[in-house]
Amino acid sequence: MVGDINLIPQEEVTEQKKSKAVKTSTYISLGVLLLSVLISAYFVLAISNIKTQIVKIDADITSLRVQITKLSQVEISARNLDRKFNILLTLFKERPKYSLLLEEIKSRNPEELTIESLDVKTNQTTVSGIAGNYIAIASFINNLVSKNFEGGNPKLKDVFTSVTLNSVSLEKATNQVKFFIVVNFDEAKLR
Amino acid sequence: MKPEDKKTKGINIDTGRLKENLLNFVVPIVAIAIAIALAIFVIYPSFKKLPLVKADLSSKAGMKQTLSTKLQRLNRLVDFKSVVDEDSGLVNKVLVSEEEVPRLLDQVNQIATNAGMSVTRLSYSYGSSGTSDKNKTKAYSSVSISLGTDTNYEQIILLMQSVENAARFVSVPNFRYSTGTSNTGDKKLTASFSLDSPYLLVQSNAVTDEAIELDISSQKFIDFINMIKGLKYYEFLNPNIEVVKEESEEEAEAGETIPANSQP
């Protein structure tokens, strides 16, 4: 059996290993150093660049502020106008047009029925009156809640959400029927 | 054993070999030391600082943009000063700066009489404060008017339409009418209306760094101005109109009849 015989002296082997270790560690450490330098350079340049931009923007801001300050009277007028404009927008948007409601009630009111009193509040109105017969009252209530009623304003087809008949009574002397109803309506449709 | 080897309490330190090894690895050691120093004194602080600096840049760029837009709008307002003055005048007719109670009562009286109504009662009180949508703080004050009339259904509709088209803003929170009998025995319709009219004294300040939202060339603003141009302005016909001031909740004294042109 032939065995391998290493004729290189042990000291030389150690020296070679040491040399290789020095070489490898030198390359790795120099690589790490180079990477650190590059990352550092990136950060320094990036921050420096941003700071330069900030200085330029600061100068622009100062210039703009000076120009705006010279127009302070115009600014006050604009702010006054803007505030009133916004408040009025809200007021107009929230104001219900009760003229539309009254016209809609009138259009849905049958001829045989007379409204004697009307009390309109937010989203609700109470109506009382007299009618020639019960059918007229029923017709009035049906007209109010009908979403297919064709005589009125098409935009207000479903303005009335519910109708409650609170009382109805026959007056024998006049042979007429008195009624009292509560009508709920969607005020948003009147805006 | 070599002569330079030291023997100290059983620990052998070959300083010669140590020095030799250190000399062999001097380049890697120095390189790693510099890399660590860079990481500690440059990379880590910069890594922490960079987002802050970027945020600062972004904030300043935003401020510059805001100021730039604001300056553009102000310059446009200067260029169209006559239009702005006209628009301000129109807006001030719709939302007045002071109560101007006599003028308001005269407007309501004119509306009612123009509609064919017979005014039986006209009184006012100071109403509650209103709030706007944006913030729920007090936005404006209001005058509340109580109007009583002899009328008919058509006239009520006409009054409502006139109120809705009047230059000075008036809203009708509630109203009622009922059929009654006159002294002569005729049937008549009596109606009562509660009307509110806001007023607001605006005293803004110039705040350099705050944007101006008003854009007179925006469609929303143009539509609004066109809308209020179509409203009817009522001239002040009867400055000496007699009215009753009603007691408001805060007032201790009872209501009294006062000339409307006197200040409350």
Read off the pLDDT of residues B52-67 as tens digits, 9 standing for 90 and up: 999 999 999 999 999 9
Contact A191, A93 (CB under 8 A): yes
How many beta carbons lie within 10 A of that of residue B218, not counting itself?
11
**Measured between beta carbons, which residues in chain A are less than 8 angstroms from residue B25?**
22, 25
CA distance B252 to B51: 62
Task: Give, in order, the Cα–Cα distances in Å from A93 to each of A70, A97, A147, B214.
Answer: 36, 10, 25, 19
* Residues B72 and B47 placed together within one structural domain of the fold: yes
Q: Using CB atoms, pick whichever of B47, B74, B87 lies closest to residue A71.
A: B74
Identity of the amino acid at B80? F
User: Does B47 contact A at CB distance below 8 Å?
Assistant: yes
Per-residue model confidence (pLDDT) at position B255: 41
Residue % of chain A over a pLDDT of 70: 98
pLDDT single digits (tens) A111-133? 889 999 999 999 999 999 999 99
- Looking at the structure, tell me whether residues B74 and B98 fall in a common domain: no
Cα separation, B117 vs A4, whole angstroms: 130
Q: Based on the fold, state whether residues B95 and B172 are members of the same structural domain.
A: yes
Least confident of B28-37, B228-237, B253-262: B253-262
Residue B72 sits in the same domain as residue B131: no
Say if B86 falls within a structural domain: no
Residue B257 banded pLDDT, cuts 50, 70, 90? very low
- Note whether B233 and B169 are same-domain residues: yes
Assess whether B117 and B246 both reside in one domain: yes
Token output for A58: 């600061």
Q: Which residues neighbour B205 within 8 Å (Cβ) at sequence distance 6 or greater?
A: A76, A79
pLDDT at residue B131, rounded to an integer: 60
Q: Is A182 helix (H, G, I), strand (E, B) or coil?
A: strand
Q: Give the residue, B147 or B264, on which the prediction is more confident.
A: B147
The reply to whether B44 touches chain A by the CB within 8 Å rule is no
Do B205 and A91 make contact, defined as CB atoms within 8 angstroms? no
Asked which of B27, B52, B79 is the last residue of a domain, the reply is B79
How far is it, in rounded angstroms, from Cα B83 to Cα B77?
Answer: 8
Residue A176 has pLDDT above 70, yes or no: yes
Give chain B's mean pLDDT: 83
More confident residue, B188 or B135: B188
Instruction: Give yes or no: residues B115 and B158 share one domain.
Output: yes
Closest-CA distance of chain B to residue A107, Å: 12
Q: Which of B171, B232, B204 is nearest to A88 (CA)?
A: B171
Question: Which residues of chain B does A17 touch, with a Cβ-Cβ cutoff of 8 Å?
Answer: none
pLDDT at B125 over 60: yes
Please give the Cα distance from B253 to A108 (Å, whole number).
47
B139/A contact by beta carbon, under 8 A: yes
Joined together, the tokens standing for residue A86 give 């916004």
Together in a domain, B47 and B163 = no
Tens of pLDDT, residues B180-218: 877 777 778 899 999 999 998 888 788 888 888 888 888
Confidence band, pLDDT 50/70/90 cuts, at residue A10: confident
B144/B44 Cα distance (integer angstroms): 68
Q: Report which secondary-structure segment, H or E, holds B106.
A: helix B101-114
Residue B200 falls within a domain, yes or no?
yes
Query: In one letter, which amino acid is A36?
Result: S
Q: Please tell me the distance in Å from A88's CA to the nearest CA on chain B.
A: 7
- Statement: the pTM of the whole predicted model exceeds 0.95: no
Q: Whole-angstrom Cα distance, residue B264 to residue B262? A: 6
Q: Are B116 and B36 in the same domain?
A: no
The band of A43, judged by pLDDT with boundaries at 50, 70 and 90, is very high
The domain total for chain B is: 2
pLDDT at B258: 41
Q: Confirm whether B6 is domain-assigned.
A: no
In a domain, B264, yes or no: no
Q: Are strands B242-245 and B118-126 parallel, antiparallel or unpaired?
A: parallel
Residue B164 located in a structural domain: yes
Specify the pLDDT at position B138.
63
- Distance between CA atoms of A102 and A99, rounded to whole angstroms? 5
Q: How confident is the model at residue B261 (pLDDT cuts 50, 70, 90)?
A: very low
Average pLDDT over residues B105-122: 91
CB distance B175 to B155 below 8 Å: no
Q: Is residue B4 part of a domain?
A: no
Q: What is the 8-class DSSP label of residue B42?
A: I
Q: What DSSP state is assigned to residue B122?
A: E
- Nearest partner of B246 among B258, B238, B234, judged by Cα: B258
Helices A10-70 & B44-79 angle (0-180, nearest 10): 20
Which of the residues A14, A34, A73, A82 would you substitute to probe the B interface, choosing the one with the greatest number of B C-beta atoms within 10 Å? A82
- Distances in Å between the Cα of B49 and the Cα atoms of A33, B34, B39, B54, B56 are 22, 21, 14, 9, 11
Q: Range with the lowest mean pLDDT among A31-40, A60-69, A127-136, B6-15?
A: B6-15
- Are A61 and B153 an interchain contact pair (Cβ–Cβ within 8 Å)? no
Region B23-36 average pLDDT = 90
Residue B138 in any domain: the answer is yes
How would you class B230 by CB atoms within 10 Å of its CB: exposed for 0-12, middle for 13-18, buried for 19 or more? exposed
**Do B108 and B63 share a structural domain?**
no
- The ipTM is 0.73
In this predicted structure, the answer to whether residue B16 has a pLDDT above a threshold of 90 is no
State which amino acid sits at residue A185: F
CA-to-CA separations, B87 to A77, B165, B168, B224, in angstroms, rounded: 11, 18, 14, 10
Confidence label for B263 from pLDDT (cuts 50, 70 and 90): very low
| pLDDT of B81 | 87
Confidence at B248, pLDDT banded by 50, 70, 90: low
pLDDT in the model for residue B99: 83
- What pLDDT shows up at residue B238? 77
pLDDT mean over A39-44: 95
Asked if pLDDT for residue B11 goes beyond 70, the answer is no
- Measured in whole angstroms, the distance separating CA B144 from the mean position of its chain's CA atoms is 23
pLDDT exceeds 60 at position A1 = no
In this complex, is the C-beta atom of B95 within 8 Å of any C-beta atom belonging to chain A?
yes
**Same domain, yes or no, for B130 and B230?**
yes
Q: Does position B2 have pLDDT exceeding 80, yes or no? A: no
| Pairing status of strand A160-171 against strand B242-245 | unpaired
Last residue of a domain, one of B27, B58, B79: B79
* Domain stops at, among B52, B79, B106: B79
CA distances from B171 to A68, B93, B194, B224 (A): 39, 15, 9, 18
Q: Enumerate the residues of chain B whose CB falls inside 8 A of the CB of residue A35.
A: 35
Q: Is residue B3 part of a domain?
A: no
Is B35 an 8 Å CB contact of chain A? yes
Give the CATH number, domain containing residue B167: 3.30.70.60
What's the rounded Cα separation, in Å, for the pair A78 and B71?
Answer: 12
Q: Name the residue range of residue B199's domain.
A: 91-205+212-259
> Does one domain contain both B123 and B73?
no
Q: Is the pLDDT of residue A33 over 90?
A: yes
Select from A123, A130, A119, A128 the least CA-distant residue to A165. A128
Q: Is residue B260's pLDDT more than 60? A: no
pLDDT tops 90 at residue A34? yes
Residue found under tokens 């922490």: B48
Instruction: State the first-to-last Cα distance of chain B, in angstroms, to the nearest integer.
Output: 117
